[in-house]
Amino acid sequence: MALRTRSASAATSQNENILAGKALMAKNKMATGRPRAALASIGNKEANIGKVAAKDVMKKKTLPKSRGTTALPEAVKENVTAKKQPTKEKTLSPAPMEVDPMDMTEMKKAFSDSLMAKVEDIDSEDKENPQLCTEFVNDIYEYLRHVERKYKVNPNYLDGQVINARMRGILIDWLIQVHLRFHLLQETLFLTVDIIDRFLQVQSVSRSKLQLVGVTAMLIASKYEEMYAPEVADFVYITDNAYTKSQIRSMEILILKNLNFNLGKPLPLHFLRRNSKAGQVDAQKHTLAKYLMEMSLVDYDMVQYNPSQIAAAALCLSAKTLDQSEWTPTLEYYSTYSEEDLLPIMRHMAKNISKSSTSKLQAVRNKYTSSKFLKIATIPELKSDYIQELAEKSS
C-alpha cells in the first residue's frame, strides 16, 4: 500500500508539472504571439524580436475595438493617409563601374576559356608513360615554384661583407672549369652556385676561405646529384693542396648546418626542360638557352631572379634571337610568365652576351664554343641588332 501511494503521488506531481508547463507556454504565447524559445533572453537577435513583439502588443491595446468598424485615433489616421499618398521616386546615381557579379563571373570564365582554347596539352601523348607523371606534373611544377620562392637569394646580399661581386665572379668562373674537368652533370653546377649564394648570404667568410667554400659546395652538390661523386682528395688536388681533407669536411658541416640541410631547391634546368617541351623547340634553341642561363651564373646582379624566371627568359630570348619566334599562349601558360614579365631579364642577358667577348671571365664562353655544345657561343645571331638594342636598354 505504501508503494502504491508513493507511485500515485509521484504520477500526480508529474502531471501537475506538465500542466504548469503548458500553462506557462500558453501565457507566453498570449504575450508575444508565439511560443517563447528556451534561450530567448540570450543574444541580441532574440532580444530584439521580443521588443518588437512587445511594441506590437502595446499598439493593439491602444486601439479601441467594436463589433462594427474600428475607430482610429486622429494621429493614426494621419499616418495612414500619409502612407497612401504617392511619393516621388528617388533617382539614384549609378555606382562607378557597376557590374553584375554574375556577369563578372561569366566574363572571367569566357576569358579563361578563350585562353585555354589556345593552350595545347603537351602531356596528352605521354599518358601511357608512368615515369612522366602526366596526371600531376603541373602540380609538381607548382610546388617547385613554391619552393624556389621559399629559398630565394636576396639581391645585394654581399653588401657589408669582405667578399664582393668581383670575387664571387672569379670563383664561379673557376668552378665552371673544374666542373667541366670532372665531367659532372649540369645540375651539379647550378646547385653548386646556389649553395654558395645561399651560404654567403647568411655566413660571412674571409677571402682565404672563399675557394674552400666553392669546392665544398661542389662536393655537396655532387653528392646530391651525381651517381659517383668525386672524392674529397680530388678537391684537395684541384686546389693545389691549399686546403686539407679535414678543412673541407669541417666546411661541409658548416654549410649544411647553415642551409638546414635543405638542398631540394629547383634549378633553372628543371624549368627549361618543361618550357622547351611546351615550345617544341629544337636542339639549337635549347642549347642557346642553356648558354644564356650559365652566363647568368657569373653575374652577381642576377642572383635575385628565381630559377623559373631565368629559364623562361633564356628560352624566350633564344627563340627571339634565332628566328623571332613568338612567346605563345602555351609557353605563357606552362611557364606562368608573359613576354612582358620576362623583358627586364632578357635585357640583362643580352647585356651579358654583348660583353662576353671583352670580359675577363671566359669559362662559359669557351665551354660553349666546342662542338659538344653546337658552338653556340660563336653564332652570328648573338651580334645582331636585336641583341644590341636589348643590351642598351638594360639598366
- Residue 294 counted as domain residue: yes
| Angle, helices 385-393/307-323, rounded to nearest 10 degrees | 140
| Interatomic CA distance for residues 291 and 277, integer angstroms | 18
Q: Which among 311, 348, 73, 334 is positioned nearest to 186, based on CA atoms?
A: 311
- Residue 275 counted as domain residue: yes
- Residue 20 counted as domain residue: no
Same domain, 334 and 362: yes
Q: What is the CATH number of the domain that holds 277?
A: 1.10.472.10
Q: How confident is the model at residue 394 (pLDDT cuts 50, 70, 90)?
A: confident
Same domain, 205 and 273: no
Angle, alpha carbons 340-341-345 (nearest 5°): 105
Same domain, 239 and 290: no
Same domain, 286 and 370: yes
Question: pLDDT digit string (tens) for 26-60?
Answer: 444 444 444 444 433 334 444 444 444 444 444 44
The full 3-state SS of 29-51, as one line of letters, equals HHHHCCCCCCCCCCCHHHHHHHH
Give the distance from CA 126 to its chain's centroid: 27
Q: What's the pLDDT at 266?
A: 96
Please give the average per-residue pLDDT across 318-347, as a whole number: 95
Domain that holds residue 164: 152-258
Given a cut of 50, whether residue 370 has pLDDT beyond it is yes
Same domain, 369 and 292: yes
Given a cut of 80, whether residue 23 has pLDDT beyond it is no
Average pLDDT, the chain: 81
| Interatomic CA distance for residues 131 and 129, integer angstroms | 6
- Give the HSE-up count for residue 164: Cα atoms under 13 Å, Cβ half-sphere: 1
**What's the predicted TM-score (pTM) here?**
0.71
Question: pLDDT digit string (tens) for 122-158?
Answer: 999 999 999 989 999 999 999 999 999 999 999 999 9
Question: pLDDT digit string (tens) for 251-310?
Answer: 999 999 999 999 999 999 999 999 999 999 999 999 999 999 999 999 999 999 999 999
- Residue 179 counted as domain residue: yes
- Residue 187 counted as domain residue: yes
Contacts of 298 (CB under 8 A, 6+ apart): 169, 172, 173, 176, 361, 363, 364
Cα–Cα distances (Å) from 180 to 147, 174, 226, 242, 367, in that order, read 28, 10, 14, 21, 8
- Residue 71 counted as domain residue: no
Same domain, 198 and 293: no
| Interatomic CA distance for residues 367 and 388, integer angstroms | 23
| Interatomic CA distance for residues 16 and 12, integer angstroms | 6
- Please give the span between the terminal C-alpha atoms of the chain, in angstroms, as a whole number: 108
Provide the Cα torsion 125, 319, 142, 138; round to 10°: -10
Contacts of 170 (CB under 8 A, 6+ apart): 361
- How many domains does the chain contain in total? 2
Given a cut of 70, whether residue 9 has pLDDT beyond it is no
- Residue 26 counted as domain residue: no
